[in-house]
Structure 1
Amino acid sequence: MSIGKSPEDDRPSQTSAPSTDDGPSVGRALQQARIAAGLTVDEVSQSTRVRGPIVHAIEADDFSRCGGDVYARGHIRTLARAVGLDPEPLLARYGAEHGGPAAPTPATPLFEAERIRSEPRRPNWTAAMVAAIVAVIAFVGYTVVSGGDDDGGTQQAAEGATPATSKPATKPSPSKKPATKPDPSDSAIAAAPQDKVTVKLNAADGRSWILAKDHNGRKMFDGVLERGQSKTFQDTTKIDLVLGDAGAIQLYVNGKQIEDEFQPGQVERLSYTKGDPEVG
């Protein structure tokens, strides 16, 4: 007697999709790297200009808020660099899980980031003051020289001397060396005592989030350094730094400039002592 098939045998077999669980997901990998770097979502958002809600969604492997496949890949690449990961393996995993390479999309802004208005260029009041001082000195010198010439001419006229037909020789104006701007490291050198470690940060090429701690781990500064601003820190033993965008910062340690070529958007964790400059 043959046994017929059970109704359950006619149901389609429930086989799961091929597993790519050979490591953490894209979002989980980004979240773990951010936590390991000691950064919050707000700090990553400030350094990458990717809005906080989008960062949260990507770390939860929700790419629907990115606005498309191309934008999602761009966000993954930017966030990976900000937390110190190689973006290529993450992009490959994303492609395997979401249908291969990105499809072309209309030309629109790549990232859904906050648009920050460019700040108006501030007037250089130091140069203006130097120019005004030079003009005043030149005017006073010219007045003194002109006054001496007028006295001589009056004396000659009183004595009945005939005026010379040739042009009088003009006296050279008092030489004035052009004012030169001090080297940006001058203030750092002057403020670098031998018994302390001195670190100066200058946001010459853009804005950057900065975290500075002393040798006891206490915060000396935690905030954003706007373009053109600078900060100087001193401690008796050691200063620890985290630079959210190291490529925007000029760094001076104990009066000497650190010449490392940090890339824009690169997060750097540095530590300096009295014996430096050396990269921490």
Structure 2
Amino acid sequence: MSDLGNILRKARIDRKISLDDLQDVTKIRKRYLEAIEEGNYKVLPGSFYVRAFIKSYAEAVGLDPTEVLSMYQTTNPSPVSEQPVVETIRHKRTSVRNAEKMSRWASSLMFVCFILLIFGIVYYYTYKNYKGTPAEGKPSQTQSPRITDSTNPSTGTKPNSNVNASSENKTVPIATPTPSPSPTPAAVQVKFNSNEKGVDNYTISGTSKLDIQMKISGSQCWIRVDALSDGNGKEMLRQKLYKSGDTDTLEIMGSAYLNVGAASALELTVNGTVVPVGDTPNPKRVQLNLQKN
């Protein structure tokens, strides 16, 4: 058994994770996991998959994958010529599909803008013609003579002037101004920034704390949650192997870092906003940066 295999096996046993549980979390066959612990890398499909499997193993048991891969590279240097050809082909296909999607999106946007321009022109001329109708063309309404200024047709006398005086002395009520509504507070925003070194970075603004809700569905999922300090220090808050149907909630007054063993099994919600972590059973790392006002 190699030194690297001993380190990985000891970390797995310390966290009380069996090979069957590790197989469910990493989606790596049990015989490959045993081969990694024994240092028998010839059983694995190739050096590219060896590195990928070792990285997933290390993340699942809470070890730093960079240090573990560096230890493997030191003892088992890989040939320079070996490259993941399959990944290159996938990237090329993805680029072609994205270009086609962008072209269709641009065409649809131009068509919608053209339709809106036509409606705007029609509305402008219709509104202009309506406002241009002369007021003199409208029939005027004949006002009826005021009773106070007319004479009584039967007697030929004018009505009592006291009636006009009393009506003129009436107090006209003054309308009180309606108070303006108070400004509403800014809504909480969860914004994706970038992916650096395999870590998805999000910025959360409009709040003074993080409300993290986790729901496990489909299969088991190992998750570790750390609180981040201003000096990039980490303090572990939660480390657990969750089963399907489990839920968990955390309230953190600062930034946080999540290490997820199987991304497709986790439904992550931050301050009421769903944060996508992926639809594949691969490990995922997410950093939530709280931006306080």
Which is strand-richer, 1 or 2? 2
Identify the TM-score tier after normalising by the shorter chain. Answer: 0.3 to 0.5
Which is helix-richer, 1 or 2? 2
**TM-score (ref. length: structure 1):** 0.37
> Larger radius of gyration, structure 1 or 2?
2
